Amino acid sequence: MSSYEYTGLTEDQKKVIRGYRDALQCSEDFVRPHFEKAVRYYKLFAGEMPPELDSTFSKCMLWLGMSIVERELPQTVSGILSRKNWFRLSAKDPMMEPHAHNAEKWLNYQIDERQKFASRIIPTIQACHIFGTGYRFYNHRYKTVQQTMTTYDEMAGVPYNIKDNTYDKSQVLIAGHDVSFFNVFPSPVGTFVNDYDDTDDNIVDYVIIMAYPPRSYIENEKAFDQNQVKALLDHKGQCGHDPTEEWKQRIAGTQSGWQSFTMPDWVRRLRNGELMLEDRFRLAYYYQNRPKKLTIVAEDSFILYDGPMPIPHIPLAKFTSTYNLDNWYGIGMIEPCEDLILSMIMNFNHRLDYLAGTLHPPTYVPADLLEELGGDKSVFDPQPYGVIPYNYSRYGNNISNIVYHDRNTDISSQAFMEEDKMSIFMQEITGHPSLFKGQTGPSTGDIGATGIVSLISQGTARTMFRSANVENSGIVESLKLTLAFGDKFINEDQTIPDREGADGWPWTRIPRKAITDKFGVQLDMLGSNQAAEAFKTMIATAPMVLNNPVVKNQVEAMRQLLDKSGWNKIETLLSQPPTGMQQQPPMSAMGNQGQNPSQASGKGMMMGQPGGAPSATNDARSMMNRSTVEANTGRPVAAGNIEV
């Protein structure tokens, strides 16, 4: 950390600098073990071979880390990607209740159209599942847009002198973007970033966020201390050590891409004048919760801003999928099974090494024989249909005794743990389906349809719980921060696109008073996922219910199934057809297409039976004489006699 202090600082400013440096030092010590683990997890995710593979010959890397994260990702973002209007706002004040609908429209427009939330949130969710914690930073900026106003004079009700006047107008943009895991330095105490309702004391004392904006941003920011800006721009070289540099260098071999919260080597080359590009500087955004205060320090030495926060909250949304008690950092998908991933990779490579040693064993040959064959060692590698000439008069028929292949000896199958057993362990740890599909083993068996449904429910429960944590942490915070920025910086009514506007007009005017943070946020994503899982369970159990003599009211069973499937006019479908309309004979009574049952051949009469066209009837009949496992109890029961 820098010990440089600009001589133009006042005593109060020097005190602020020392306080910032002390806070950063405490945070560096706190985050070090978590950053150490994060580097390992990222390398597993990115497919970099772990050092353990150096002891193997095959060195075959299995991307299990990425597979685990990518399996979890669709479930986490399904509520955002699959539908619109996935959140609701509830007024905290009775006077704001009439504006809740307009506030929802404005927030939907900001999230979907302005911030492109559905696509740009993916890196943050990935970081959440890799490291256990992901971040999204919010700010505001102004954009100048040209608008046209038509003016005219009027005489006797007739307009004349009509003119279109163009003028510049400043527009507020609320932006959110992903923040590198290694750019956030929280205080050692606290779990949450903000307390939006003044009910939770378990919030951090401060958070330091590193950013690397260009020179133009620093020069044009009016809120910055211009004396300090000039001193920063006039100073040559870097004043201090970047605390994120160590960690980013360690993953530089696997990390790709550039973002405003990352500083690779070319940024330092810019500062040294080696590249003809715009300079960038390291700014530390030092947010304090007690009291509410923001200090922006450049290069650990120049105080560009020291005053109140733009909004009454730290503009950082923290995403957590699995909490680690009340710690700041959560637990990702890779951490609980890191050792198992390495074991599966090593087990696979050891098996390949054993196979390679059997098919292509080490070979010992006399030096004179090798010299006689021109020094080509490849001729001694066993190959099908290989013909190798040699000096028969010198070696005779005992060439097999002269050339020795040291093949691997047979070993017990217990020497290698089977992949399906490791897959079961992985499933238990992550709650995911087996990573190796199609494997069989002594642990597999026919557990029946009900047992399968029970396993599906158990597997999805943990995934849905992790999704709920992500929704209620970072996603809810993102929505609340967007409302807070709108409340502070938007000062006039807003006109936004609205395809459901009144009278077919695809625009809606949002009153200024509706854009406020005086609303609570509730998400509907988890409810939709629960409904989808319930429908999957209904589909899985349908063959046991339809045409089952135990289920007396087949019409009601079909009605519920059609209702959940989204069919229309269900009562019409289930009612008797009008008089005179010919009914379609059932499939089991039909022969070839277009034949009456009386004309069908004997073979055609069996189309509804095994070997013919599948039907729910056949599925139900196949259950009648089979045993299965009853959900929640584990009792063996007859599959055809399950009460539903």
Q: What is the pLDDT of residue 542?
A: 76
Helix (H) or strand (E) holding 383: none
Q: Give the CA angle between residues 169, 174, 178 to the nearest 5°.
A: 145
Q: Tell me 244's DSSP state.
A: T
Say whether pLDDT at 163 is over 70: yes
Q: What mean pLDDT do residues 343-354 have? A: 88
CB atoms within 10 A of CB 317: 26
Confidence of residue 627 (pLDDT cuts 50, 70, 90): low
The predicted-structure confidence for 86-135, as pLDDT tens digits, reads as follows 888 999 889 999 999 999 999 999 998 899 888 899 999 999 999 999 99
User: In angstroms, what CA-CA distances link 224 with 143, 265, 284?
Assistant: 19, 27, 13
Q: Residue 419: which residues within 8 A CB-CB, separation 6 or more?
A: 344, 347, 348, 436, 439
What confidence score (pLDDT) does residue 587 get?
A: 46
**Overall average pLDDT of the 623-627 stretch:** 50
Whether pTM > 0.75 for this model: the answer is no
- How far apart, in Å, are the Cα atoms of 130 and each of 63, 264, 320, 618, 621? 13, 21, 11, 45, 46
Q: Write the DSSP symbol of residue 203.
A: B
- Compute the distance between CA of residue 557 and CA of residue 563 in angstroms, rounded to an integer: 10
Give Cβ neighbours of residue 454 (< 8 Å, ≥ 6 apart): 629, 631, 632
* Amino acid 7: pLDDT: 60
Pair 111, 456: CB distance under 8 Å = no
DSSP alpha helix (H) spans, 221-337: 226-234, 245-250, 265-271
Which of the pair, 515 or 606, is modelled with greater confidence?
Answer: 515
Paired tokens of 484: 């807070």
Which residue, among 429, 440, 363, has the nearest Cα to 400 in the 3D structure?
363
Half-sphere exposure of 203 (CA within 13 A, CB side): 22
Mean of per-residue pLDDT scores for the chain: 79
| Position 1 pLDDT exceeds 80 | no
With a cut of 70, say whether residue 530 has pLDDT above it. Answer: no
Provide the pairing of β-strand 184-186 with 363-364.
unpaired
Residue 505, exposed/middle/buried by CB under 10 A (0-12, 13-18, 19+)? exposed
Q: What is the pLDDT of residue 593?
A: 46
Do residues 124 and 135 lie in contact, with contact meaning Cβ atoms separated by under 8 Å? yes
Residue 612 above 70 pLDDT?
A: no
DSSP, collapsed to helix, strand or coil, labels residue 623 as helix
Residues with Cβ within 8 Å of 104's Cβ and at least 6 positions away in sequence, in order, are: 85, 87, 88, 89
Question: Would you state the structure tokens that stand for residue 644, as one six-digit string?
Answer: 């539903």
Does the pLDDT value for residue 456 go beyond 60? no
Of residues 596 and 509, more confidence is placed in 509
Query: In which band, very low, low, confident or very high, does the pLDDT at 183 lie, cut at 50, 70 and 90?
Result: very high
Residue 293 in 3-state DSSP? strand
The pLDDT of residue 23: 95
Q: Which of 29-43, 67-81, 437-451 has the highest mean pLDDT?
A: 29-43
150-154, 274-278, 312-316, 580-584: which has the minimum mean pLDDT? 580-584
- Residue 234 in contact with residue 170, Cβ under 8 Å? no
Angle at CA 262, nearest 5°, toward 231 and 475?
Answer: 115
Mean pLDDT of 144-157: 83
The pLDDT score that the predictor gives to residue 317 is 96
Q: For 395, which DSSP code?
A: H
Per-residue confidence band for 224, with pLDDT thresholds at 50, 70 and 90: very high
| Better pLDDT: 2 or 281 | 281
> Around Cβ 63, how many Cβ atoms within 10 Å?
15
What is the rounded CA–CA span in Å between residue 21 and residue 286? 10
Q: What is the mean pLDDT of residues 446-451?
A: 48
292 — pLDDT class (breaks 50, 70, 90): very high
Collapsing DSSP states into helix, strand and coil, what is residue 171?
strand
Q: Which residues contact 396 (CB under 8 A, 6 or more apart)?
A: none
Which residue from 634, 457, 433, 622 is spatially nearest to 543, judged by alpha carbons? 622
Q: What's the rounded mean pLDDT across residues 439-460?
A: 49
- The pLDDT confidence band at residue 278, using thresholds 50, 70 and 90, is low
Residues 6+ apart with CB under 8 A from 430: 68, 72, 333, 336, 337, 462
The whole-number average pLDDT for the span 457-475 is 81
pLDDT, tens only, 363-422: 888 888 788 778 888 777 777 777 777 777 777 777 777 787 787 777 777 667 677 778
Query: Are the C-beta atoms of 496 and 505 separated by less than 8 Å?
Result: no
Least reliable range by pLDDT among 178-187, 256-265, 579-588: 256-265
